[in-house]
Amino acid sequence: MKVVIVYTWARDGANAAVRADGTVDWRGAKMTAGEDDPAALAVAKRLAEDTGGTVVGLTIGDGDASWVLARGVGEAFSVTDVPPYADNAATARVIAAAVERIGAVDVVVMGDSKQDPGVAPAVAGHLGWTALAGLDSASAVDGRVAAVRRSATEQQTISAAPPLVLGVAAEADVDTKPGMKELLAARKRPLTTWPMGDLVDPGDDVRSTGTRKPDVVAATLFDGDPATSAAQLVAALRADGVL
């Protein structure tokens, strides 16, 4: 099984600037390893180990291409000039095109980024593959992928055949920092770079035509003891036609 781990692909929202008119300027935000990237890498390695397959890395923009190379992945690819302010649709299109260029890929694994949760399903849409999102772990069983997803009340195990896109959501931000030996080894591992224009037509990007602040909804405060406040709430709900 050939597994692609997509890493350092999401923008760091902490570095975005929100202007007075409500518009967001992403130009200062870099692609960075999110809290889900280490968990996604662990899933990719597990799938390759279960099947005797390989893991290759894929990053975009100014993401740190050596991040997976220093964590044991033998080869990586980078689409170097993807703008950090590209929207989710554009980001997914570039990732999908890069996966197709890599070729013979069975599974794509990527972090279920909090800021961009729609990218993994959009990548699957571009590829025409099945998408499973919000996963905790996954393993390979008899040529299929057994993916585990947990909620507050249950645990789901979903069995699906490749090709697949898996979105992994980590329970905690846990990353093992590579040592000097791993960092030196990363320099010797192959890294292939592509300009975005070799994969997609930049003129086809979905572009934002503007943003605005959301409408403000008035809030009602109820004063008094609990019984009086409850009566006021019921009366207000009846007045609004809710009850």
Mean pLDDT of the chain: 86
**Sequence ranges of the domains in the chain:** 2-204
Q: Quick check: 63 pLDDT over 90?
A: no
pLDDT for 157: 93
pTM of the model: 0.78
* pLDDT, position 208: 59
- For 96-112, the pLDDT digits (tens) are 999 999 999 999 999 98
pLDDT of residue 11: 82
Distance from the first to the final alpha carbon of the chain: 56
Q: What is the pLDDT of residues 228-241, one digit of tens each?
A: 888 888 888 888 88
Query: What Cα–Cα distance (Å) separates residue 132 from each residue in 25, 76, 99, 153?
Result: 31, 23, 17, 19
- Give start and end residues of each alpha helix (H) in 18-131: 37-51, 66-69, 88-102, 119-127
Name the nearest CA neighbour of 68 among 84, 93, 44, 46.
44
> In the predicted model, is pLDDT for residue 206 greater than 60?
no
Token readout for 22 is 């409500």
Show Cβ contacts of residue 37 under 8 Å, excluding neighbours closer than 6 positions: 7, 8, 67, 111, 175
Beta bridge partners of 137: 148
Contacts of 81 (CB under 8 A, 6+ apart): 61, 195, 196, 197
Q: What is the CATH code of the structural domain delimited by 2-204?
A: 3.40.50.620
